[in-house]
Amino acid sequence: MGGCIFAPYFPPEEPHKFANVHKIFGASNVAKLLNELLPHQRDDAVNSLAYEAEARVRDPVYGCVGAITFLQRQIDRLQKELDAANDLIRFACSDLPAAGPQLPMGVGRRPVFNQTYPPPPLPPPPPGGGGGGPLSDIYNNPNGGGVGGSYN
């Protein structure tokens, strides 16, 4: 069957998928790419192109790099928070006697794990706005979003 190369990968129910890929990469470039790939590689290629195109439409400056950078910063922040919590646990446990009778909870010692801490402050909202879509969790999440600041 010598039909359209795009038909198996861009269903008519998702016209925005092809529109974004066409707008960002150009239909002839995508057709050339798909023709150069083996048939079993094309689905993954189209999914990657569609993701990158939607990211670029949402964030013309950073594209999917903006989402990646945001997630890397979130990992760094959470790693620092985890390190601080582990330091606190080590500090609290260093006061425990090495051997001998253990003090019951509440007698001269407060339980370490029952302490509550306020949640970390929310980051500033992302610049601009946006509708729904696969990237809306990253760009419109009340717990963070966007690429605030510069790259490190």
Residue 95 confidence class, pLDDT cut points 50, 70, 90: confident
Over residues 78-93, the mean pLDDT reads 95
105-118: string of b/e by CB count within 10 Å (b at 16+)?
eeeeeeeeeeeeee
Helices and strands (H and E) in the chain: how many: 5, 0
Taking the model in full, what pTM does it have?
0.52
Is the model's pLDDT at 110 over the cut of 70? no
* Mean confidence (pLDDT) of the chain: 78
User: Across residues 84-107, what is the average pLDDT?
Assistant: 74
Residue 41 has pLDDT above 50, yes or no: yes
